[in-house]
Structure 1
């Protein structure tokens, strides 16, 4: 029981925090007030919200880069606002969005910079420092790249280097600003999986801001959901989906959030209904294609055109005006419907 309590210990706490900007000596622009947030040890928290909601301001304020209008931020019970740079660097580490452009430095050298808050003014690494660097490189799977120059690595590998640097810094809280911004889909998935694993295995608290809603819904333990001038909604990803918070926050005329799939679906102008007989995976992708084409898909009989899915043979039968046409791909199905459609 003692171990469980230690694992669930609050690492980050904000108390009645107000964020915004001071304008002159007396005026101020308050974006959000009375913010009370916590992150526990071993938790991965994703900060989500539309542009302009104040995510970057909140991240900077928590990190001590920007002064709060009021309230406080504590990491392991220690207030951030009255600490010097070295003390803050031993409480939290930050991975920024910007790409790394230091081609003359090796992976090992960059990760070793994470030990700077603990070294003397000469920057000499102790044996303990070297062990921490080696451990950090092992955690991100880059130990065999330690002597490589950073410009020899892919974007995904470079981001892993910066995560290793944060690990080597050995802080209870790691903060990341859009860590997947410059990455392709496989690397975005890998980085989110890596961060989730590190939170569990290193027992650190990880906070990241991201626009990767679909990945955050799968990887985050807790989501902080921000919207302009509204209190932050907090909860497990599934709870925020089920109670409609995700849908409400990202509401837009151009798309809808589908609670069943956790995806955003574009809104197309529907000009005609069409019956589709069949479901499962083949039916899902058929419906997506037909929606893009301008059809309102239904399982009820409407009009003079129906599409029947023959799942065993991956065929589509178009039944129209008493005749049946077989198609062997969705591309062929759409071409046939365009040729014989009454859509404008």
Structure 2
């Protein structure tokens, strides 16, 4: 179907097929048409062309009281509900089953209680809705939707304006509803990491059409995200599931790392605007993926191989051109011993060498060169030391 307003198409050829118990996410930049699709699925907007079906029935043919038993909607807009309590608002979800003036039976009250428990909001039931945080309000609105006992819940950006705790909690609640109750959930998100880690199917909305549709593993690639959001100055890493700000600065610092010890150092120095060369890193090391995403120059060795002499000499030649060497405190073994040799070689060259290895155990690592090295306890301290040294050199 085509969706939009009156005769103006916003997104064309929308073909979305939801499976019972599935969590489906729409991803795309602001203005791409995610909300328009959701409003059309909810019956709040008529399709420009085509039809919305729920279990084979045309949405337009379903009477509103019956539709409310099949479909629940949670929109982005904050609603003003005066001095109503959480219980009273949640109870509104029973309207399709009791009618507007119907009394709540013991069964209805039990359903309300169960829904509040499902969203971890039982402790809020007697509080006024207006007093709640945004995250608490969102949980209550999800509970109200659940109380309708629908087959499908549609949510428009349910994690907007929420802190990390409540974002994770909301997605966890929705996943649980899908798995335990077989409810199909269709939502829009801005958080790429939440979409990838929480949703089974993702639709990418771009340039007025569905650019891709499938599982996160099938469609979320580095280039896909950068193209979708027209990102410059950062790179999406599909292995890490995160965006990394990259620098194209010429290397002035050589970092000997590995085994995940370099990640924090790379990010700290990248934030400070430094260009880096990282090596020698094995191709299966997590540090290599972060380094590449940050735009570092990488000297790479094949996984599980001892560092070959050509890689060592390549690293040594680059090291001659930089001002600083950093030892991240990586564990040393037979396959990466040459990285320790690079650290010692840097000391011999007269480079300023920083180490994140504990100073009290440094002699076993550096031997006679122990006192030639500057020791820091964290990455931010290394960055500050480099900045202070550069400032002194300029004076």
- Structure with bigger helix share is 2
Distance 1:232 1:82, change over 3 A: farther
User: Alpha-carbon deviation of 1:236?
Assistant: 1.1
Equivalent residue pairs, number: 319
User: Alpha-carbon deviation of 1:242?
Assistant: 4.3
Does 1:31 find its partner at 2:10?
yes
Aligned-residue RMSD, C-alpha:
2.4
Does 1:140 find its partner at 2:189?
no
Counterpart in the other structure of 1:330: 379
Report Cα offsets for 1:22-56 as digits up to 9, x if no partner: 2xxxxx32222222111111111111101121111
Equivalent residue for 1:309, pick from 291, 313, 328: 328
SS in 2 for 1:181: coil
Contact 1:48–1:210 under 8 Å retained in 2: yes
Equivalent residue for 1:161, pick from 124, 136, 140: 140
Distance in structure 2 (CA, Å) of the matches to 1:143 and 1:260:
38
- Structure with bigger strand share is 1
Report Cα offsets for 1:185-224 as digits up to 9, x if no partner: 1111111111111110111001111101111111111111
Counterpart in the other structure of 2:270: 291
Distance in structure 1 (CA, Å) of the matches to 2:174 and 2:99:
30
Does 1:21 find its partner at 2:21?
no
| Higher normalized contact order (CA 8 Å, seq sep 6+, divided by chain length) | 1
Distance in structure 2 (CA, Å) of the matches to 1:339 and 1:182:
39
Does 1:252 find its partner at 2:231?
yes
Distance in structure 1 (CA, Å) of the matches to 2:134 and 2:3:
33
Equivalent residue for 2:151, pick from 152, 167, 172: 172
Q: Which runs of 5+ in 1 are unaligned?
A: 1-16, 23-27
Contact 1:270–1:291 under 8 Å retained in 2: no
Distance in structure 2 (CA, Å) of the matches to 1:46 and 1:268:
32
SS in 2 for 1:39: coil
Alignment map for 1:243-282 (pairs within 5 Å): 244-282=223-261
Distance in structure 1 (CA, Å) of the matches to 2:232 and 2:100:
57
Distance in structure 1 (CA, Å) of the matches to 2:164 and 2:3:
33
Counterpart in the other structure of 2:388: 339
Distance in structure 1 (CA, Å) of the matches to 2:123 and 2:24:
30
User: TM (normalized to structure 1)?
Assistant: 0.85
Distance in structure 1 (CA, Å) of the matches to 2:376 and 2:242:
28
Report Cα offsets for 1:162-202 as digits up to 9, x if no partner: 11100001110001111111211111111111111111011
SS in 2 for 1:122: coil
